[in-house]
Structure formats: structure tokens, C-alpha cells
Amino acid sequence: MKPMILAALALSLGNVHAAPIAMEDQSQLKSAPAAAPGFTPPAESELPDNAYGKMVRDGHALFVDTRRLMPEYVGNGLNCSNCHLDQGRLGNSAPLWGAYPMYPAYRKKNDKVNTFAERIQGCFQFSMNGKPPAADSPQMTALSVYAYWLASKAPIGVESAGRGYPDVPQSAEGYDFKRGEQVYQAQCSICHGANGEGQKVAKDYVMPPLWGKDSYNWGAGMHRINTAASFIKHNMPLGKPGSLSDQQAWDVAAYINRHERPQDPRLVDGSIEKTRLKFHANDGVNLYGQKVDGVLVGQGL
Ligand code: HEC
Ligand code: HEC
């Protein structure tokens, strides 16, 4: 492994192996982030040794190794588990056990009732900048069965604590790119690279890219500053969730999402402005089709 990566891993593991906090230092306990909430999904050791257990394992493999196992469906450098942490198990990281029991559900994004498979297809098209597998494909079945298994014994149709990335409200002062860049260089670039390019060992990313051609595209949920701020606040820097202030999470999310990435695959008549009006004008806080420092954002790569 490259020294950069080792340093980064040491950094992320740092707080796990931290020395016990001395008595006079108890104040640190209060500021330590609370454990992620929610439901405890079953352990792998509970899986039956039959066709069902095998399909759950297949779905798990696709979820954590998506790019390598499904190259024809993935158009960037990401795996599902890069944004749904701890293999889709972690509360406040859009865990699969929080999602599965909530479908079918209406989504404003495509203005229809989505099955669970259609929801996953959305992440393939946008977050993975790829081509969604068919709803009745073996891969989709395996991914759905993996999610179903993680949700075993969870209540159905009831929103669990820890579902999604809980909203981090925008402050009255909004966000600031300059401050965001400072947060980025101080706390993120060691892993994600000075230019958001991530880090690779041979052909595989060991640290995922945040912008550029191998990142999520302009149609992905993560392109919204509010969604990225919520993800970041609860999950980054890796190993130190909850350590950024809400303001820092917004600033760094805005800095990341002012950078170019693959085009929105829904591009209307080749026009960024038409695409902005149709899909981005009412989609949270985002920069698509707007000018930042005189440069049009959303030109795509
Ligand atoms: C770039 C980050 C990213 C990647 C990669 C990604 N997703 Fe997502 N995913 C999101 C975001 C953002 C949401 C919306 C969460 C919310 O609404 O709070 C989401 C939502 C979901 C949901 C619905 C969650 C819910 O509670 O309703 C499912 C299921 C899901 N993703 C599955 C997948 C699968 C399967 C893959 C891989 C094929 C994948 N995602 C890849 C970012 C990502
Ligand atoms: C110690 C290394 C490390 C640090 C520091 C770190 N990250 Fe990450 N980040 C990761 C890893 C690894 C993943 C993928 C998680 C996984 O696969 O389990 C990730 C995932 C992400 C993702 C979603 C995946 C993608 O590529 O879009 C975003 C966004 C992100 N990080 C932003 C940040 C921001 C912002 C900071 C600084 C505040 C930061 N990270 C600091 C290692 C790090």
C-alpha cells in the first residue's frame, strides 16, 4: 500500500484505538458523536446454508464490489457501499434495513410509485453513472434479497430511526466555497486527494473520487448540497462521524459540488438550461446550471 493510504487508514482508525479518556478529560465524552441509531440487522453467521443464504451472499458481494462485478452497469469508480457505509448496515448512512420496508413508495424525482428494484435502478443510473440492470435480472434479485435479509424482523411501512441521511439544516448564512475548500484540504484531501480524484491501487479505487469523470453524475442525490452535507455530517471524515459542525458540512459539500462530474443522463435537448428548469430548479439546494465565479456549473465530463 502507498504511504498516503496507510496514513489515511491510521487516521480513520485513530479514534477506534484511542486511549481511554482520563477522568479529568470527561468533557470529551460529551462531544463524542453518538453511536449511529437504529435497528441491528442479522449477523452473517445467522445465514442459512442453502440457496437463500447463497443469494444473500451474492447480493452482498455485488453491493460492496459493484464496479468490479458489474462493469457493464457501472460507469464510474464507485461501489454501492461507498455511500451506504458498513455494507449497507450503518444507521444514518441510508442503510438497506431502513430502505427495504419503505417500498413501494411515491418519488417526486420520477413522479411515480417506485418498487424497491426501481429505487435501486435510480442509484445505478445516477450515483453509479451507469445503466440500470433489469428488474428481473439475477443481479437485481440478489441485491433485493440482500436488503430484505438485512431488514429481517424490522417493522414494515414504518420509518426506522437511522433511515437515510438525516437532514442537516442550512444556516442563515448559507455556505461558503472558500471555507469549504479549507475544510476539504485540512480534513478530506488526505484520503480523497487534493483534486477530489480519490486513490487507486492498480485499477481499483481504495478511496473513492468526489468529483471528476469517475464520480457520481449531475443527476445523483449527492449532487444536492443539502444531501451531501447530511451524508458528510453523519459519516465523514471516515472514522470521525459527527465531528464537523453543520456549517463545515455545508461549506465542504458546496465546495465538492461546484466541481464538474458526468452529465445528468436526463439532459433535455442538449440544453443545460432546459435540464436545470426541468430537473434541478426544485431539487433541494444545488448549483447545476448556475454560474460560480463566472463559470457555468453542470457542463458535464
Ligand atoms: C454517490 C453515492 C451513492 C452511491 C454510490 C449509491 N447510492 Fe444509493 N443513495 C444515495 C443517496 C444520496 C440516496 C438518497 C438518500 C435519502 O433520500 O436520504 C440513496 C438512496 C438509496 C436507496 C433508498 C434509501 C431509502 O431509505 O429509501 C437505496 C435502496 C439505495 N440507495 C441503494 C443503492 C445501491 C443498491 C447502490 C449501488 C448499485 C447505491 N445505492 C449506490 C447515494 C448513493
Ligand atoms: C480516512 C480517510 C477519509 C477521510 C479523511 C475522508 N473520507 Fe470520505 N470516504 C472515505 C472512504 C473510504 C469512503 C467510502 C466508504 C466505504 O466504502 O466504506 C468515503 C466516502 C465519501 C463520500 C461518498 C462516496 C463518494 O465518493 O462520493 C463522500 C461524499 C465523502 N467521503 C466526503 C468526504 C469529506 C467531505 C471528507 C472531509 C470532511 C472526507 N470524506 C474525509 C475515506 C475518507
Q: Residues with beta carbon inside 6 Å of ligand 2?
A: 8, 11-12, 78, 81-83, 85, 183, 187-188, 190-192, 207-210, 216, 222, 228, 231-232, 236-239, 244, 252
Q: Which ligand is nearest to the CA of 74?
A: 1
Give the Å distance between the CA of 80 and the centre of ligand 1: 7
Which of 63, 79, 84, 256 has most ligand 1 atoms within 8 Å of its beta carbon, as the pocket-test mutant? 84
Under 8 Å between Cβ of 270 and 241:
no
Nearest partner of 223 among 180, 249, 247, 257, judged by Cα: 257
Q: How far is the CA of 251 from the centre of ligand 2 (A)?
A: 15
Q: Which of 225, 202, 199, 203 is nearest to 212 (CA)?
A: 199
**pLDDT, tens digit, for every residue of 135-157?**
999 999 999 999 999 999 999 99
The rounded distance, in Å, linking the Cα atoms of 226 and 283 is 10
C-alpha cell at 50: 442453502
pLDDT tens track of the chain, all 301 residues?
444 444 444 444 333 333 333 333 333 333 334 457 779 999 999 999 999 999 999 999 999 999 999 999 999 999 999 999 999 999 999 999 999 999 999 999 889 999 999 999 999 999 999 999 999 999 999 999 999 999 999 999 999 999 999 999 999 999 999 999 999 999 999 999 999 999 999 989 999 999 999 999 999 999 999 999 999 999 999 999 999 999 999 999 999 999 999 999 999 999 999 999 999 999 999 999 999 999 999 999 9
Q: Residue 278 C-alpha to ligand 2 middle, in angstroms?
A: 30
**CA 88 / ligand 2 centre spacing (Å):** 15
Q: Which three cell numbers stand for residue 100?
A: 427495504
Ligand 1 centre and the CA of 168: distance in Å? 18
pLDDT at 35: 59
Question: What amino acid is encoded at 32 in this protein?
Answer: A
Residue nearest to atom 23 of ligand 2 (CA): 83
Rounded to whole angstroms, how far apart are CA atoms 195 and 293?
18
Ligand lying nearest the CA atom of residue 210: 2
CA–CA gap between residue 108 and residue 292 (Å, rounded): 27
**Alpha carbon nearest to ligand 2 atom 42, residue:** 238
Q: Residue 162's closest CA among 41, 51, 24, 283? A: 41
> How far apart are alpha carbons 164 and 38 in whole angstroms?
11
pLDDT recorded at residue 6: 43
Give the cell for residue 77: 469508480
Residues 87 and 99: beta-carbon distance below 8 Å: no
Cα–Cα distance, 13 to 21 (Å, whole number): 16
* Cα–Cα distance list, 150 to 46, 73, 100, 254 (Å): 11, 24, 9, 33
Distance CA 11, CA 18 (A): 11
Please state the atom number of ligand 1 nearest to the C-alpha of residue 100: 29
Cα–Cα distance, 200 to 207 (Å, whole number): 7
Residue pair 183/46 in contact by the 8 Å Cβ criterion: no
